[in-house]
Structure 1
Amino acid sequence: MTSSDGPVAADPLRSLLREIHLLAPDQLSAAVASHGRGLGSRETVVYLADYEQLLLQPLRGEGVPVRQELRVDGSLGGRAFRRVEVLTSPARTRAHRLWVPLLDGVERLGVVEFVVDQVTPELQEQLLAYVGLIAELIVVNDAYTDIFAQLRRRKTMSLAAEIQWDLLPPLTFASDRVVVAGALEPAYDIGGDTFDYAVNGPTVDLLVLDAVGHGLPAALLASAAVGAYRHARRDMRDLPDVAAAMNEVIAGQFTDSRFATAAIARLHLDTGQLRWVNAGHPDPLIVRDGVLLHPGPCKPHPPLGLQVRKPDVCEVQLHVGDRVVLYTDGIVEARPASTWSLKSLLAAVGAGSSSSTDAPTAVSSRWAATPRSQPVSSRSSTTRTSAPRRASASSAEKLRPPWALVVASRPRPSAAATSFSPSSSQTGVPAATPARTCGSRYSTAVKPSGLRLTRRSPTTKTCRNALCGVGQVVHCSRMTSWTRCPWASVYG
């Protein structure tokens, strides 16, 4: 029996489960629509979000109603996708249209549209279970086909971006102990910026990496570095040994003095201890109740590929509800600083206070609302309803560097739950302290390790900024820009 021939079984979920073993990926949408009728849905259409999460693209197939793409910021289906909730609207006389978020765990894949005669709690429960099965089928079948990847892209993707997207883990993960969410921009032309994570019982390993250069060479370097990272991590090595393994691969395989900066972290869920090594990279940021905290003294080391010894381990004690933000310097190097800066990043992270998984999406929204290095046909917010903004060639003179971001959070327990958050005196681990800034008259320049000030205004003053590392002096002014300098001049 097939979904297009003959009657559908009384239990559509069981019937679809029996059918999937011999179901080709291009038949999935038709099977979903057919078995949906057994649940009382006249029409069932699956929509997948594009890579930038700006549009919802319908998955077409035999017997599937024809639909057009939906804007995430201008449609009811998009609102259901953004808010991760079931929404209902009138479809036609005596019919209702339901929009159900399509989730793989907590990762948003898209939405499913149902047209039903009546909306009851029992029906919604059945449809939620059905959509959960659909999500699993899409994730499993994605490994066997290009159909879903082709549907998700709105324009040609560079080879470097193709390599990087295939390298990424799922963008979000959530449990009752930790939430991890990541973002990567620009979606179609990224190079050496990437991230990785792994949840291994009581520990969560996090990596954010920025390979030097652009395009394919940077993507190949990042790919080798992430491969070495995963190999060492799965070999259960400590953080300095993980960094040493990555350094050895980069130095041995890329002999033209190429390198990658990285923050390699490990979060211990039982104690809340965060340990990391800094390889020429911005230190992690900690946001607690909307306040930025400095993680404490941490000696920076040269980038991976240029190290001569294992890096030191830094550590800090986290509290329940803290957010750890790892990012690449493309975020703080964006121009103009007034529209995209560390302050904007922290505002975006804080804006997702209701859900830790919202933070990277909020960051993507802020980025999408500003001009890019390449003209974009239509860019708009993925988290807040706003008018679409069209970027023209004349507005693209401001260079937007690529960036990667990963946010890890320890969820707050429910009122009935109990939790233990050890203090620094109990663990011997330094506690996070409020970060200092350069004063209200001057913009705060965040200096990633190994970068130096190359332009300054006459009003420049020198100050110490806790975000820049112990003993490092930064220049804070209304006109600051950071550019890479020879590592010998920094560490020689």
Structure 2
Amino acid sequence: MSDRPTPVGALLRAAPPDRLPEVVAEHLRRHHGAGRVEILLGDLTLTGLRPLLDVEGPAGDALAQRCFGSQRPVVDVAPDAHRTYLPLSVWGERLGVLVVETSPANGTGLTEHLTAAADELAVALRAADAITDRYRRAGRRERLTMAAELQWELLPGRSLGDERFLIAGQLQPAYAVFGDHFDWSLTGDRLTVTVLNGNGDGLEAAVLTTVAVNAMRNARRSGANIVEQAELASDALYARYGGDAHAATLLLEIDLISGRVEAVDAGSPRAIVAREHKSRTVTLEQQLPLGMFGDTRYETQRFVLEPADRLLVVSDGVHAATPAGRPPYGESALLTALRRTRLQPATEAVGTVMRGLREYHGDTEPEDDAVTVCLDWRR
């Protein structure tokens, strides 16, 4: 009879979805001599890391933030103990950080074992997120509005990537967003990205966006191209609202092999390409927002990305923001913020752009919600 321990992945699959942290902590203590174990999850803004096991414990420290940002293990060596920080991520989605304290005498190869456990835990947490509230509650500093609840539930995630690309998105204000939204889907070498700005305020704007997003998903999952996706969503919105409400939308379909991009520009979101030290706004002919008129038809436009290009897509809450009568954020301040992201991955760049927007507002409350999506094409 084998004395080998049960693999942590098997233990996690057998555990109740809300008990994954305790299962992995017990496994690490029993088989790797771990002392303190903590699981830190990113909050809604991804600016803080909140503890799961000791909910009254401290938030993630500077080393945890470094691990989260770099997506690489960080080891803090002390005479009496080693503290290892390991990223929790799956398919490019950053979830948080696993923190494990061990004795210096535990030997070589420990980081590899801990990394394997972190990878199994990340997959399990991603799967469990839909069937327990524990992990979402940990990431909230305050209660969401009903509109924001709808929008966060509708998101595909906050980042996605592999060796070909990395894409990330962020909503602001996180706890009170209503009409702005983003969506993406990866099939083979085709990445479909949409950024929406549903008009109106509060819950009605969120419902409008929900209808538009699900209509486009319905078309996409039936094999429709982005023109057909836009037309089905426009028809669905017009059937519901009769032209009284609409959703400005930019739909993109990116070939991850060639860099060719097909676009349907149905409103206000803007696309900017950063190449080496220069940035340029992608010139597209704007067509009618989704749902403005019945039987609206759309046309595809095209542009091409080059290897190592960065594509930034922002809603009008970003590029058209004019706090206290200042010039629009998109005229020059947005490009300044984008230049600051040159050495950052897309997952960090969206935060830099949004912080720049908050700084631009100063003491003025934003009049609109905002979304930023950043794609790095790595080929």
Verify same fold: TM over 0.5: yes
Q: Which residue of 1 aligns with 2:35?
A: 42
- 1:302-355 Cα shifts (integer Å, max 9, x gaps): 211124531221111221112222211001233254795453333333433342
Give how far 1:400 is off: 4.7
Aligned equivalents of 2:251, 2:352: Cα separation in 1: 24
Runs of 5+ in structure 1 lacking a partner?
1-8, 373-394, 413-492
Helix, strand or coil at the partner of 2:346:
coil
Distance 1:357 1:398, change over 3 A: closer
Q: Distance in 2 between matches of 1:39 and 1:400?
A: 52
SS in structure 2 opposite 1:325? strand
Q: Deviations over 1:104-153 (max 9, x none)?
A: 23222111111111275511111111111111111111121011111110
Aligned partner of 1:486 in structure 2 is none
Query: Residues 137-148 of structure 1 correspond to what in structure 2 (within 5 A)?
Result: 137-148=124-135
| CA distance, structure 1, for counterparts of residue 4 and residue 237 of structure 2 | 58
Specify the SS of the correspondent of 1:155.
coil
More divergent stretch after superposition (187-196 vs 252-261): 252-261
Which SS does the other structure have where 1:363 is aligned? helix
What residue in structure 1 maps to residue 289 of structure 2?
303
RMSD between superposed Cα atoms in Å: 2.3
Which of the numbers 20, 24, 44 marks the counterpart of 1:28? 20
Q: Residue 81 of structure 2 aligns to which amino acid in structure 1?
A: A
Partner of 1:364: 354
Residue matched to 1:195: 182
The Cα offsets for residues 208-227 of structure 1, whole Å up to 9 and x where unpaired, read as 01000011000000000000
SS in 2 for 1:319: coil
- TM-score by structure 2 length? 0.90
> Aligned ranges for residues 115-154 of structure 1 at < 5 Å?
115-118=101-104, 121-154=108-141
User: Where does residue 112 of structure 1 map in the other structure?
Assistant: 98
Structure 2 CA distance for aligned equivalents of residues 359 and 55 of structure 1: 16
Q: 1:126 to 1:19 in 2, by over 3 A?
A: closer
Shift of the alpha carbon at 1:178? 2.2
- Name the SS of the counterpart of 1:28 in structure 2: helix
* Counterpart in the other structure of 2:374: 407
Maintained 8 Å contact 1:70/1:78 = no
Aligned residues: percent identity? 27
Please name the residue that 2:254 is paired with: 267
Output aligned runs, 1:172-183, within 5 Å.
172-183=159-170
Q: Give the stretch that moved more between structures: 115-124 or 47-56.
A: 115-124
Question: Over residues 428-457 of structure 1, what are the superposed CA-to-partner deviations in whole Å (9 max), with x where a residue is unaligned?
Answer: xxxxxxxxxxxxxxxxxxxxxxxxxxxxxx
Whichever of the two has the greater Rg, that structure is 1
In structure 2, relative to structure 1, the CA distance for the partners of 1:399 and 1:20 (3 Å cut) is: closer
2: CA distance between counterparts of 1:398 and 1:66?
Answer: 32
Matches within 5 A, 1:414-429: none
Partner of 2:81: 95
Counterparts of 1:68 and 1:369 in 2: how far apart (Å)?
30
Distance 1:347 1:275 in 2: 27
Cα distance, 1:295 vs structure 2: 3.0
Alpha-carbon distance change, 367 to 309 in structure 1, aligned in 2, over 3 angstroms = closer
Q: In 2, are the aligned partners of 1:211 and 1:260 still within 8 Å (CA)?
A: yes
**Shift of residue 368 of structure 1?**
5.2
In structure 2, stretches of 5+ residues that fail to align are none
Contact persistence 1:47–1:58 (CA under 8 A): yes
Q: Which has the higher contact order (CA 8 A, sep 6+)?
A: 2
1:431 maps to which residue? none
Considering fraction of residues, name the structure with more helix: 2
Equivalenced residue count is: 371
Within a 5 Å distance, the mapping from 1:86-485 to structure 2 comes to: 86-90=73-77, 94-118=80-104, 121-255=108-242, 257-296=244-283, 298-307=284-293, 308-334=295-321, 335=323, 337=326, 340-354=329-343, 355-367=345-357, 369=359, 395=363, 397-412=364-379
1:453 matched to which residue of 2? Answer: none
Task: Say which is worse superposed, 18-27 or 266-275, in terms of deviation.
Answer: 18-27
